[in-house]
Amino acid sequence: MSVEIKSHLSELLTHALARVAPQQPATLITLERPKQAQHGDFSCPAAMALSRILKRNPRELAQDLIAALPASDWLEAAEVAGPGFINLKVRPAAKQHVIRTVFADGPRYGLDNRGQNQPVLIEFVSANPTGPLHVGHGRQAALGDAIASLLESQGWKVTREFYYNDAGAQIANLALSVQARIREKAGTPAEFPADGYHGEYIREIAEKYHASEAGNAENLEAIRRFAVAELRREQDTDLKAFGVVFDNYYLESSLYSDGRVESAVATLTAAGKTYEQEGALWLRSTDYGDDKDRVMRKSDGTFTYFVPDVAYHITKWERGYPRAINIQGSDHHGTIARVRAGLQASGKGIPKTFPDYVLHKMVTVMKAGDEVKISKRAGSYVTLRDLIDEVGRDATRFFLASRKADSEFVFDIDLAKSQSEENPVYYVQYAHARVCSVLEQWKRDFPADSSQGGDLAALSAADLSPLTGPRETALLAKIGAYPELLENAARELAPHQVAFFLRELAGEYHSYYNAERFLVPEMPLRFARLALSVAVRQVLANGLAILGVSAPERM
């Protein structure tokens, strides 16, 4: 049922409450959906709450509220039920009105301004530049970009940020790995580092470096810079192919070069939140709910890996983001308490829930019934590029965003490539293309309609009264529920809810298409069914856009 109907009924009941009990707050008015259709479209329990306040019979209060309801063209009936529920039934015209709203709003249908342009920083992917992006990074990219779009749909001012972990032991191992391959290329015996990277991409980087003007195999710092630049360029290319664009890139190395890591440690020390023990510097993280205190600076003078994370998140707060969301793998769960402890101990007024985390579990890739574990280039894992090349961007994005983040996901390549109703992205896109096909056939079969204004503008003003069948009523209710679906999915940071909704909407439209003729001789039935179809198409396109998936006109 549409938000407009729910809002209208709430206004009617609020007006009635003001007449029956003028001293009582409008917050008493709530609407619920009855479990059984014969009980009406909405149910209001306000009379029962009011009875406890006024010490009156709830059924009598319900009757008084009904008597005080203003006249409405949308309200068909209101009656008392059970211990004092007010059951409300709306007229078909009210349900049909959602089509007018969809036509009027178009791509903006479902959007809201609840966020009031408040800034929010969403950090996702944030891969080490030590190899190609893997499937886990792809799940982060799909989830992060869809969550960003969901929040934008609710009026938040979103910044998408990629944090490059371009410092530390892993980058050193990358440089040593490339150096070993360069020496190997030059015919010089080379010992490969124990924790080195073995993928074919390392050999490719080594060959490029060897062929470059800076190809000195002994200049490890030059090799490091070259390798990081090459891998960043490759990751950017993969993200572009995936349709993900970031507003900002933040380098971990800059936290050291700008002195932010040292500054964060000094701030925590000055605040009395650290102590020395066995030559190491410890954070009193147990003061903030952690299960034990954590080492910040080891006895050899190097910082543990969560310290730059604390410094980085302090910059998020200082850059003016009162809300930040991190999309990360579930293996980062252990860092949450210590990072938040460091932020709270900084004395900067950062709340204990900063930042929010969305942790996702692993993705298992299957093909022909077997698990796919490696890529030819990466050597030890399936890359995001492998998936995109195999099944396309749309299927990859839809599939990776279609399950709750905290659930493990099996990516079935054969399913993603199939043209069947079992393939959710094909099923949804086909519903959109099917509407386009109906409209093309309409123009061919009813050319006279054009002389009567037979275009989308005419459909927006069509007589919708014939849309009273059960399948039509179900479709009207479904497209009317889209704005509330977006609100809920944005609040819960759950783009999989959009994927589920689209699958259900597509299914109801396919059933409608198979059961009814749209291009009937009778008017206004023809225009009414076409208008409903166009409204469904718009909602499908809007929802697919949230997920970063295209809405094809032909398939």
Give per-residue pLDDT as tens, 296-322.
999 999 999 899 999 999 999 999 999
Q: What percent of the chain has pLDDT over 90?
A: 83
Q: Are residues 450 and 489 in the same domain?
A: yes
If you search the block for the tokens 């609407």, which residue do you land on? Answer: 31
**Mean pLDDT (whole number) for 39-54:** 91
Position 238 scores a pLDDT of: 96
- Residue 370: count other Cβ atoms within 10 Å of its Cβ: 8
User: Which tens digits make up the pLDDT trace of 403-430?
Assistant: 999 999 999 999 999 999 999 999 999 9
Among candidate residues 408, 397, 386, the one with its CA nearest the CA of residue 132: 386
Mean pLDDT of 346-373: 94
Domain count, the chain: 3
pLDDT confidence bin for 451, thresholds 50/70/90:
low
Query: Does 33 map to a domain?
Result: yes
| Separation between Cα atoms, residue 203 and residue 195, nearest integer Å | 16
From 90, 105, 126, the end of a domain falls on 90
Mark whether 384 and 478 lie in a shared domain.
no
pLDDT bucket at 452, cuts 50 / 70 / 90:
low
Q: Is residue 13 part of a domain?
A: yes
**Least trusted range by pLDDT, from 115-129, 301-315, 372-386, 483-497:** 372-386
Looking at the predicted structure, is the pLDDT value of residue 228 above 60? yes
- Structure-model confidence comparison of residues 198 and 384, the more confident one: 384
* Residue 273 belongs to a domain: no
For the chain, percent of residues with pLDDT exceeding 70: 98
Element spanning 43, H or E: strand 42-44
Residues 387 and 496 in one domain: no
Is 103 domain-assigned?
Answer: no
Residues 432 and 536 in one domain: yes
What 3-state DSSP class applies to 80?
Answer: strand
Domain extent, residue 405, equals 363-417
- Residue 270 pLDDT: 94
Asked if 406 and 497 sit in the same domain, the reply is no
Residues 471 and 387 in one domain: no
Within-domain flag for 551:
no
Position 38 in a domain: yes
Looking at the structure, do residues 459 and 408 belong to the same domain, yes or no?
no
Query: pLDDT-based confidence at 286, cuts 50/70/90?
Result: very high
Q: What mean pLDDT, rounded, does the chain reach? A: 93
The DSSP 8-state label assigned to residue 412 in this structure reads E
Residue at which a domain ends, from 90, 113, 138: 90
The predicted model scores a pTM of 0.92
DSSP 437-502: HHHHHHHHH-GGGGGGT-SHHHHHT---TT--SHHHHHHHHHHHTHHHHHHHHHHTT-THHHHHHH
Number of residues written out for the chain = 555
Find the radius of gyration of the CA atoms of the chain.
Answer: 29
Residue 284's pLDDT is what? 94
Lowest mean pLDDT among 135-144, 250-259, 312-321, 438-447: 438-447
Answer yes or no: is pLDDT of 53 > 90.
yes
Among 169-173, 435-439, 540-544, whose mean pLDDT is lowest? Answer: 169-173
Q: End of a domain among 417, 441, 463?
A: 417
Interatomic CA distance for residues 366 and 48, integer angstroms = 54
Listed in sequence order, the residues at least 6 apart from 226 whose beta carbon sits closer than 8 Å to its beta carbon are: 178, 205, 208, 209, 212, 214
Would you place residue 154 in the very low, low, confident or very high pLDDT band (cuts 50, 70, 90)?
very high
